[in-house]
């Protein structure tokens, strides 16, 4: 076949498949890779350390054949090439992306699904066009309520297609159509050539390998909208079966923090000890992060890092002088600008979404 020739000739040939060999393999195929929390050391997560969540096999893009179809409740259906999308005004935003299932492994009783620990979260500098600009070009009809988003990946076996939808208001306000991640062309695992980024909302809205935007007057009726990514509208007894009518879509991320240094269960020597990590709150800002090293009896305000962006996590740091050698637990508790703070026990829900308990890391302090 004309394989290599065609690849070289195509503007879509610049496909980077990242080697992610430092990540935790939750599933090799489809690829679900978690970042070990202690490797999250910088405000921007490098591409080769960024977690990957793919329900199905990574689609192979036909070089040159990719286009984005925009149709449904619009005045003018569009078929856009990547160059056309790149010719729209470009926007770069630092956004924290977190899988709704991050921390699922900590729910009691356990729930089915990828058993993510702490690291299905990362922050990147995303560059792309505003979804609003594309929707304006197509002309939304007054009936438009939802924007259905579909990528080139297809369900394995009998699994349905991964199609999600976004309320039109959120789509027009914040969503990006992204072709660059941290200054590089979007890597294959992260949605090459084009993905959606929905700032502040759980990761499953941020459709990878985007090929089709359909504007609709209603929610999509597929399983990934009607069954997946929903949680009980009110807290339920752990283990309960919840009626579909009592479930609502997961949207924005709750307030959360993660201690990423020192590494969990490590031994630190000398004093002082730097305790550091990240905190984020979806569409809201972080107001404060408090740290405790005495089991939550007392809390001290951590210093918040200088790097900030509207939808990005905030670095925090606390300099701690341990009283002596021994075993300690460092706790972090973030509070957002509306005063919401992290719980000790998050609400159990049947799919194990939005784990945001006060974080804890056990440390051994050796000689001072």
Ligand X SMILES: Nc1nc2c(c(=O)[nH]1)N[C@H]1C(S)=C(S)[C@@H](COP(=O)(O)O)O[C@H]1N2
Nearest distance from residue 103's CB to ligand X, in Å?
Answer: 13
8 A C-beta contact, residue 196 and residue 206 = yes
Nearest distance from residue 293's CB to ligand X, in Å?
Answer: 32
Per the DSSP assignment, residues forming a β-bridge with 151 are 210
8 A C-beta contact, residue 200 and residue 311 = yes
Site string (156-185) toward ligand X, x via CB under 6 A? ------x-----------------------
Nearest distance from residue 74's CB to ligand X, in Å?
Answer: 22
Residue 207 binding: pick among ligand X, Mo ion, none (C-beta 5-8 Å cut-off by kind)? ligand X
8 A C-beta contact, residue 351 and residue 101 = yes
**CB closer to ligand X out of 120 and 268:** 120
Closest CA relative to residue 32, chosen from 42, 24, 40, 21: 24
Q: 347 is written with which tokens? A: 């609400």
- Residues in contact with ligand X, counted by CB under 6 A, come to a total of 18
Peptide bond into 30 cis (omega under 30): yes
Closest CA relative to residue 190, chosen from 214, 165, 208, 212: 208
Is 114 a binder of ligand X (CB under 6 A)? Answer: no
Q: Which residue among 18, 23, 35, 55 contacts ligand X (CB under 6 A)?
A: 55
The torsion of the CA quartet 38, 345, 320, 120, rounded to 10 degrees, works out to 20
Taking the CA atoms of 222, 227, 231 and 232 in sequence, report the sign of the dihedral they define.
positive
d(CA 17, CA 138): 33
Spatial neighbors of 2 by CB under 8 A, at least 6 apart, are none
Enumerate binding residues for Mo ion (CB under 5 A): 53, 99, 203-204
Q: 346 is written with which tokens? A: 């998050």
Q: Which residue among 73, 170, 190, 314 contacts ligand X (CB under 6 A)?
A: 190
Nearest distance from residue 244's CB to ligand X, in Å?
Answer: 20
Nearest distance from residue 207's CB to Mo ion, in Å?
Answer: 11
> Between residue 200 and residue 259, which ones bind ligand X under the rule CB under 6 A?
203-204, 206-209
Residue 114 binding: pick among Mo ion, ligand X, none (C-beta 5-8 Å cut-off by kind)? none
Q: 182 is written with which tokens? A: 């941290």
Q: Which residue among 99, 138, 197, 279 contacts ligand X (CB under 6 A)?
A: 99
Q: 83 is written with which tokens? A: 């160059």
Closest CA relative to residue 335, chosen from 307, 316, 308, 319: 316
Nearest distance from residue 325's CB to ligand X, in Å?
Answer: 40
Spatial neighbors of 267 by CB under 8 A, at least 6 apart, are 363, 364, 365, 366
**CB closer to ligand X out of 54 and 332:** 54
Is 107 a binder of ligand X (CB under 6 A)? Answer: no
Nearest distance from residue 98's CB to Mo ion, in Å?
Answer: 8
Is 52 a binder of ligand X (CB under 6 A)? Answer: yes
Of 20-28, 48-56, 283-291, 293-301, which segment contacts ligand X by CB under 6 A? 48-56
Q: Which residue among 20, 23, 37, 53 contacts ligand X (CB under 6 A)?
A: 53
**CB closer to ligand X out of 139 and 155:** 155
Nearest distance from residue 309's CB to Mo ion, in Å?
Answer: 21
d(CA 119, CA 321): 28
| Residues of this chain that bind ligand X (CB under 6 A) | 50-55, 97, 99, 151, 153, 162, 190, 203-204, 206-209
């Amino acid at each position: 076949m004309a394989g290599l020739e065609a690849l070289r000739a195509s503007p879509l040939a610049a496909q980077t498949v990242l080697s992610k060999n430092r990540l935790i393999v939750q599933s090799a195929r489809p690829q679900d890779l978690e970042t070990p929390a202690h490797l999250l050391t910088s405000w921007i997560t490098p591409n080769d350390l960024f977690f990957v969540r793919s329900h199905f096999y990574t689609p192979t893009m036909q070089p040159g054949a990719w286009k984005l179809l925009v149709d449904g409740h619009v005045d003018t259906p569009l078929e856009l090439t990547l160059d056309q999308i790149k010719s729209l005004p470009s926007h770069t935003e630092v956004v924290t992306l977190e899988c709704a299932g991050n921390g699922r492994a900590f729910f009691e009783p356990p729930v089915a699904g990828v058993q993510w620990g702490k690291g299905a979260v990362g922050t990147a500098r995303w560059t792309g066009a505003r979804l609003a600009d594309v929707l304006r070009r197509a002309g939304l009809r007054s009936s438009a309520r939802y924007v259905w988003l579909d990528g080139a990946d297809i369900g394995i076996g009998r699994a349905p297609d991964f199609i999600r939808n976004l309320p039109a208001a959120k789509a027009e306000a914040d969503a990006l159509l992204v072709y660059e991640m941290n200054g590089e062309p979007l890597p294959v695992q992260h949605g090459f050539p084009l993905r959606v980024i929905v700032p502040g909302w759980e990761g499953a809205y941020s459709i990878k390998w985007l090929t089709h935007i359909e504007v609709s007057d209603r929610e999509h009726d597929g399983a990934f909208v009607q069954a997946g990514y929903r949680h009980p509208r009110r807290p339920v007894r752990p283990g309960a079966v919840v009626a579909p009518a009592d479930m609502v879509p997961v949207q924005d991320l709750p307030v959360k923090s993660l201690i990423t240094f020192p590494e969990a269960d490590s031994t630190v020597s000398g004093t002082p000890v730097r305790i550091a990590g990240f905190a984020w709150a979806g569409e809201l800002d972080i107001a404060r992060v408090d740290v405790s090293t005495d089991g939550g009896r007392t809390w001290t305000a951590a210093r918040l890092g200088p790097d900030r962006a509207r939808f990005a996590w905030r670095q925090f740091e606390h300099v701690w002088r341990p009283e002596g050698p021994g075993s300690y637990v460092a706790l972090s508790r973030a509070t957002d600008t509306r005063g919401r703070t992290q719980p000790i026990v998050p609400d159990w829900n049947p799919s194990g979404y939005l784990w945001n308990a006060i974080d804890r890391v056990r440390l051994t302090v050796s000689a001072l």
